[in-house]
A and B are shown apart, each in its own frame.
Chain A
Amino acid sequence: MPKAFTPKVITANHLAEGDVVYLTSGDEWTRDLSQADLLTDEAIAEARLVEASTQHHLVVGVYLADMKAGENGPEPVHFREEFRRRGPSNYFHGKQAATA
């Protein structure tokens, strides 16, 4: 039996600012994970990744990150993505400060 596909979002860093961004269903880059498009189909995820990777004038280091569906949109399943959406733990900098 093929392994169940873990849902994913497309994520990258913003070219000019360097901060973490996610791709929405409308093909816009957002700084807010809850706005990201949760991709549940592997073939679509791969196709959208190829498409997003061509946007090198907007973003850097595009990849697919594992997520699960939460009440407020996609949520990380791994701690690395948790830190990416929040910011560092030693200072109140990064996303946590921007959204506070």
Chain B
Amino acid sequence: MSLFKRIIGLEQKVEQPSEQPVADETAAEALVAEAAAPAAAEEVTEEAAEAENAEDVTEEVAPEEEAEPELNKPLELYKVIRKKTEKSETVSRTQLLFQPPEGLEKEDVTALLDSLNGEERPEELKDITFVKGRKDVWYYDGTIMTPHYAELYSMIQEKDLLHTIASVARSDSHLYPLVTSFRKLMDVPFRMTEDELLGAEARFMLSPEYEDIRTVTASNGVKGFYSTKYLTWAYADSLHEWYEVGMDENP
């Protein structure tokens, strides 16, 4: 588990990317192509080919014998998750159960999502991975989204402000190291308001769970959070001043 993952406190299961050489990833490519252009992709799937055959047959036989192509449920689920990932979003288990992909029942979704934990996972879902948040499990396509981003995005969706700020501040303080500026938290993807941040600052002072989270203010008045587990005040002060003021004066 990476340093960031350890600090950020989100338990997660990241599926390793396929070890197959790129040239062999035809299945993934076909799926990606299909997600992007379903009509074209359907022409090359077995199911679609069968459907086409069925249509040919239909012209010759009675209409009541027309067979519905069987829905590829794992593929439908994959498409929904993939589409979200392409929009730089993760999707929660709750959301998927509450609004199952078309043609799937809640039970189908439950079974498919549960299969991601075991060896029986369908081929169509091999790129799907997830992070466990405090309130939910969040799914995404690991071939185009990093676990880091998925963690951040999911945490933001869970709207546990103190947990989010503390997790990011601990990670920033340890990893880079740097102080997590209010500016960072007010920008995408966090989009917190100044009032929220000032409120959090006050609540951190009262919470034993977050007793290591403190603020420092640069000479331009911009505040930032840091963790005393990793930075002393003097160190945090110097780093924050450099990021907020020094860097701008010494471009």
The finding on whether chains A and B are genuine partners in a shared complex, rather than unrelated, reads no
Q: Which residues of A contact B (CB under 8 A)?
A: none
